[in-house]
Amino acid sequence: MHTETIAIHAGNLIHSATGDVTQPISLSTTFFRDENGGYPGGHMYSRVSNPNRSALEKVLTMLDKGADACAFSSGNTAGMALFQALTPGSHIIAPDDMYWGFKKQLLSIFKGILEIDFIDLTAVEGIEAYIKENTVLIWVETPSNPLLKITDIAAVSAIAKKHQLMLACDSTFASPCFQQPLLLGADIVMHSSTKYIGGHSDVLGGVLVTAVQNEFWEKIRNIQQVGGAVPSPFDCFLLLRSLKTLTYRMKGHHDNGLALAHYLENHPKIEAVYHPGLPSHPQHEIAKKQMSGYSGMLSVLVKGDGENARKVVNKVKLFAQATSLGGVESLIEHRASVEGPDTKTPQNLIRISVGLEHIDDLISDFEQALT
């Protein structure tokens, strides 16, 4: 089946005798046992599993061409489950331009538990020099947040396989629609479903999808069920509802994102545009090879200093000044001031999540904000 069809049908796990066409929300936290102590409905207690979460995990598994998926209450708890499943004392290789929240998590919660090197993973030939005796995982994020760097998943996978390391990929910016890391050799793919999967800025969630069910995956499943950082049935319902339009939303984000990137690249007040779909992007060829579309994410450097960038952010009217991304409404953000004093993000960088408004209105808005 194609992505459009999977997204609409695979998540409808309907049992009811009431004739529902879409799966109802099952709020029950507990489920009947039979005389022999079994669970005829397939569920015992809703932290362990429930009908809406099972439906969500099924469709996410199929969209990323994996063997199984675990849904979590946020993207950060999805990543944390993977890091928690590693043996303490392990060394991991992570990107220098890693999602800020994960970097913070690794440097605070996993301080003294995991050893981490943050390196430039776009320089594939430099990775092997960082592999040590206790290295177990390479974590890539592509496209990366906020610099839109592209990492060659297949090339990093070859290195990981040669050294028997696990490869995980944060594929949030691409969504399951435009990039399939498991087919390129990743072992686990991670998404913040708060972003494109949810798509309407009204639900928090995260997911891990595995290529194979192995012992490590059982550890992650145990952390999900016993740790309990799970999405509610209503969250799962919202995500399933959103997934049904994912493919069509992504086509719109792709078109609008690319059009705005082209417009801004030619604007005299803009110093640089980071968008993997532009031929000027340093990893454009790799992006073309491993992605089938580019979503609505781009970052730009405004000519001048941080003040100039903040002026633009304050002057646009259709782009809401807010963090996060992937929703139907366009968002804009002065990233360095969100990340705080330790940030390496340039002060004149603004990150844009292009929504699904009409592109002419979005371009006119920038036109007036840049004059």
Ligand X SMILES: *Cc1c(COP(=O)(O)O)cnc(C)c1O
Residues in touch with ligand X (CB under 6 A): 74-76, 99, 101-102, 141, 145, 170, 172-173, 192, 194-195, 204, 206
Rounded to the nearest whole angstrom, what is the least distance from the CB of residue 5 to ligand X in the complex? 27
* Nearest CB to ligand X, comparing residues 141 and 365: 141
Catalytic residue of the set 68, 97, 170, 235: 170
* Nearest CB to ligand X, comparing residues 105 and 157: 105
DSSP helix, strand, coil percent of the chain (3-state; round to 5)? 40, 15, 45
Rounded to the nearest whole angstrom, what is the least distance from the CB of residue 69 to ligand X in the complex? 15
Catalytic residue of the set 39, 47, 269, 315: 47
Rounded to the nearest whole angstrom, what is the least distance from the CB of residue 201 to ligand X in the complex? 11
* Nearest CB to ligand X, comparing residues 270 and 300: 300
Rounded to the nearest whole angstrom, what is the least distance from the CB of residue 168 to ligand X in the complex? 12
195 annotated active-site: yes
Q: DSSP string of 225-286?
A: III-----HHHHHHHHHHHTTHHHHHHHHHHHHHHHHHHHHT-TTEEEEE-TTSTTSTTHHH
Q: What are the residues facing 298 on neighbouring strands?
A: 352
Catalytic residue of the set 53, 58, 64, 99: 99
Rounded to the nearest whole angstrom, what is the least distance from the CB of residue 132 to ligand X in the complex? 25
How far does CA 339 lie from the centroid of its chain?
18
Measured in degrees and rounded to the nearest 5, phi and psi for residue 7 equal -60, -30
Catalytic residue of the set 53, 103, 195, 351: 195
Rounded to the nearest whole angstrom, what is the least distance from the CB of residue 299 to ligand X in the complex? 12
In the numeric block, which tokens belong to residue 139? Answer: 């974590």
* Nearest CB to ligand X, comparing residues 140 and 260: 140
- Provide the greatest CA pair distance for the chain: 75
| CA-based end-to-end distance of the chain | 48
Rounded to the nearest whole angstrom, what is the least distance from the CB of residue 353 to ligand X in the complex? 10
Q: Is 167 helix (H, G, I), strand (E, B) or coil?
A: strand
* Nearest CB to ligand X, comparing residues 76 and 247: 76
96 annotated active-site: no
Question: CB within 8 A of 160, min separation 6: which ones?
Answer: 138, 166, 167, 185, 187
* Nearest CB to ligand X, comparing residues 75 and 176: 75
DSSP structure class, residue 348: T
Nearest to 56 by CA among 209, 202, 186: 209
Residue with CB nearest ligand X?
75
99 annotated active-site: yes
Contact 144, 124 (CB under 8 A): no
Question: CB within 8 A of 268, min separation 6: which ones?
Answer: 303
311 annotated active-site: no
* Nearest CB to ligand X, comparing residues 73 and 90: 73
Angle at 109 between CA 104 and CA 112, to 5 degrees: 110
Q: Is 34 helix (H, G, I), strand (E, B) or coil?
A: coil
Q: Which residues are catalytic?
A: 47, 99, 170, 195
